[in-house]
Amino acid sequence: MMATLPTVEAGVSQKVSSKPPFYRVLWVQVLVAMLAALVLGYLRPEQAVAMKPLGDAFIRAISMIITLIIFCTVVTGIAGMQSLKKVGRVGGLALIYFEVVSTLALLIGLVVGTVVHPGSGFNVNVATLDAKSVAEYAGQAKAQSVAEFLVHIIPNTMVDAFAKGDILEVVFVALLFGFALSAAGQARVKPLINLIDALSHAVFGVANILMKFAPIGAFGAMAYTVGKYGLGSLGPLARLMGTFWLTSVLFVVIVLGAVAWAARFNLFRFLAYIKEEILLVLAVSSSETAIPTLMAKLERLGCSKSLVGLVVPTGYTFNTDGTSLYMTMAALFVAQATNTHLTLTQQLTIFAVAILTSKGASGVQGASFIALVGTLSVVPTIPVAGMALILGIDRFLSMFRAVVNMIGNGVATLVLARWEGELGVEALRRNLAQ
């Protein structure tokens, strides 16, 4: 049984005979909300900061349904597959792809940080830094071994996975359910599969409703960011921000563009296709808010439900390209700003540790910052207190981190669907053109 993923009205509704007025298009509404937030944050900072609950409420509302969406999609997708060998093959190929691309992103961040030297000239005295501002994040940061990471995938209870909202744990539970239902035979478990499929329609209906409030959430999040930190505060750290933003754009255009070209689809058409998700993620600085609509849009392009359900959720943990770029570049920035000389061995140590710590930095706000603190803790030469330098602008950096993470997972899904023969070149081009 392969039920079609319910459409999400935010940019995923079926094509109608006449286009809606431009002011009813989601990406236009989100863009207008972001511009309004920038104006309010610049002119009325205190009032803009007070808008924070709007953004927080929207993010929490979307996060509330993500685990159910993933569970229902993965379970019904696997249960309806004719061969479980495909699940293992897709999962294996996905992990290999994730590791190669995210490791390349770490390496690019290291090279750019070494060549550009965004932290040079700061000459910061570590003793003058506010170490207390980083202490909270340092308490949450913990470098995990491979064994600890693998054990963490298994939740204490099935309910616990949903209660914590841990995407990887939910995927693990969903895989077990999907395999069990598939092995039991369609006739025996068909009522349960139908029930879960019906639940997925209901959950996507909830997503449909919530996405109508995306412009309000985008307004609140962006207004808070600009009002809290102010555009003027970006001046001293403009070099780091500009370097990271430009590197992120070039990574998407060149690296992901080359991957898309090899898979024979146009990256820029795909970016236009998910423009609503890009603007939303930019505004709220969290890639998780795009999961419902991204999954629905990918299936609409022709990717199978099971493949989308496997690749997108796991990609949010293992394929964090934007986070990878950020971690190595920001680590070198802190070292350069505090005049800390790093040997080649120490730089390679940061690179090796980041390969593991970056895997835990999914779409949640602040997760990448926490992961970086944990990475720096492994190299005592770099003062962790130096992270206080970028704490104020981390929100601006996280905007591009989250967008690159989301785009990377969308590209990965299309590439794997092409490898599996689910998507024909002409069909994909035609769907993207529409």
Residues 406 and 113: their CA atoms lie apart, in Å, by 23
> Among positive and negative, which fits the CA dihedral 419, 424, 429, 431?
negative
**Confidence band of 294 (pLDDT split at 50, 70, 90):** very high
pLDDT at 130 over 80: no
More reliable by pLDDT, 38 or 358: 38
Q: In terms of residue numbers, what domain contains 427?
A: 9-433
CA-wise closest residue to 111 among 379, 344, 318, 334: 344
Span 255-262, mean pLDDT?
A: 95
- Digit-coded pLDDT (tens) for 189-226: 888 888 988 998 898 888 888 888 889 998 988 888 88
User: Dihedral, CA atoms, 291, 361, 76, 179, nearest 10 degrees?
Assistant: 170
Q: Which pLDDT value is given to residue 9?
A: 43
Comparison of pLDDT for 398 and 141, the residue scoring more? 398
Closest to 184 (Cα-Cα) out of 322, 279, 78, 297: 78
Residue 315 maps to a domain: yes
Q: How confident is the model at residue 5 (pLDDT cuts 50, 70, 90)?
A: very low
Neighbours of 187 (CB within 10 A): 7
| Amino acid type, 338 | T
pLDDT at 340 exceeding the cut of 70: yes
In this model, does residue 10 exceed pLDDT 50?
A: no
Who has greater pLDDT, 232 or 209? Answer: 209
Per-residue pLDDT, 387: 76
Count: domains in the chain? 1
Whether residue 3 lies inside any domain: the answer is no
What mean pLDDT is predicted for residues 32-61? Answer: 89
**Angle in degrees, 0-180, between the axes of helices 238-250 and 394-419, rounded to the nearest 10:** 10
> What's the angle, vertex CA 156, arms to CA 150 and CA 161, rounded to 5?
85
pLDDT tens per residue across span 91-115: 889 989 999 999 999 999 999 999 9
Specify the pLDDT at position 146: 61
pLDDT at 4 over 50: no
> Is 225 within 8 Å of 285 (Cβ atoms)?
yes
Residue 408's alpha-carbon distances to 85, 142, 195, 248, 425, in angstroms, are 25, 26, 32, 11, 20
- What pLDDT is attached to residue 290? 86
Distance CA 42, CA 285 (A): 19
- Please tell me the least confidently modeled range out of 179-193, 209-223, 359-373: 359-373
Averaged pLDDT, 150-176: 83
CA distance 291 to 309: 10
Given a contact cutoff of 8 angstroms between Cβ atoms, the answer to whether 105 and 324 are in contact is yes
Share of the chain above pLDDT 90, in %: 21
Nearest to 286 by CA among 44, 1, 26, 62: 62
For residue 149, pLDDT over 80 is answered with no
| Most confident stretch, 5-14, 61-70, 351-360, 405-414 | 405-414
2 in any annotated domain: no
Q: For every residue of 163-226, which 3-state class applies, written as one string?
A: HHCCHHHHHHHHHHHHHHHHHHCHHHHHHHHHHHHHHHHHHHHHHHHHHHHHHHHHHHHHHHHH
Angstrom CA distances, 272 to 29, 279, 294, stand at 16, 11, 13
Phi, then psi, of 188 in degrees rounded to 5:
-75, -40
Using the 8-state DSSP alphabet, how is residue 255 labeled?
I
- Residue 270 has which token pair? 């795909």
pLDDT at 325 over 70: yes
- Of the spans 20-29, 170-179, 244-253, 420-429, which averages the highest pLDDT? 244-253
pLDDT over 90 (residue 404): yes
- In angstroms, the CA 241 to CA 231 distance is 12
Among the listed ranges 34-48, 152-166, 296-310, which one has the minimum average pLDDT value? 152-166
CATH number at residue 199: 1.10.3860.10
In a domain? residue 309: yes
Taking the C-alpha atoms of residue 402 and residue 169, their distance in angstroms, rounded to an integer, is 21
